[in-house]
Structure 1
Amino acid sequence: MFTRFALAALIVLFPLTATAQSELDILTFIEAAEKGDADSVKAYLKNGYDPNKTLKRGGTALMMASASGQPDIVRILIKSGADINIKSKNGHTALSFAATYGHAAVARILLRGGADMNAKTYKGMTPMSIASRKGRLNVVSAMMRWRMANADKDLRLADRM
């Protein structure tokens, strides 16, 4: 518990600049998001930290929060301007990570925020196909409900074209 508060205090006392965000800084920020440490995530963001910074392998805080099932962190990151549809080096998005690990609540938040259900990985997999293949029926159900609820909007948009 002390470590979390000490980290938050250091972030507030020594704010990060865009140029000073090293790989270690990015890793620490992403780990806070992955673990659900809202205080540290908010402190980083308050001090101008870019929520879209990636590790060398392409992962973002939103992706890791989605993979670990952290709905509160996902909301915080989206409200702070995290790009919902940014892709990792393998073409995965936050939604495909939520689908992989079976986090339906996170998937719903991402969909409401504008996540692309049809985004494909470099292997051609969509979040729906990933969830289906992994047997994540809760995520498949959430995505199907989202698609059905928004089908009327898609039809109206098509009629305007």
Structure 2
Amino acid sequence: MSRLSFRAFVVCGVLGLGVAGSLTASASDLQAEQPQQGLRVTYLLYSGRPNPSVLVTDPAQVRGIEEQLARAQASGHLAAVPESPAVLGYTGVQIERLGDASRGSAPMVLRGDVLREQAAPEQAALAPSSATVSRDVAALESSLIDLGRAQQVIGDVELSVIRSTK
């Protein structure tokens, strides 16, 4: 093999490794860009600063929460419930579906016996507010608060605020 052929062979090999490395990076970048499956549970406590939240990705936990939501919706009844007035303090627990399950589903807010889907601001003014009312909603809210405590995003101070405004 001539010296020129050998150099061409080495250059092609180095370029080939570079391309293979960039393809690997592209695949990992693509995986990172895909939305994560699961639920985001946000505790609506603050005005003007970020609310604590928990990302639930364990399939068994997600399935359990989804089953509780379905049970609350099935056992409840739709009612015209006035929107809660804007107040400082605890205003409920918001559940957002992430990934593929998020398509076509609005975030839901639970507070007491009331479960309501959050409409887009432009739709909220046009449509009357209806919500599902069920005792199962209160049980789900309580279990989600326990989840926040277990994940250490809700401390004693936050729990005190929740209890005082519930």
Query: Per the shorter chain, which TM-score range?
Result: under 0.3
More strand by share: 2
Task: Give the TM-score of the pair, scaled to structure 2.
Answer: 0.22
Greater relative CO, 1 or 2 (CA 8 Å, sep 6+): 2
More helix by share: 1
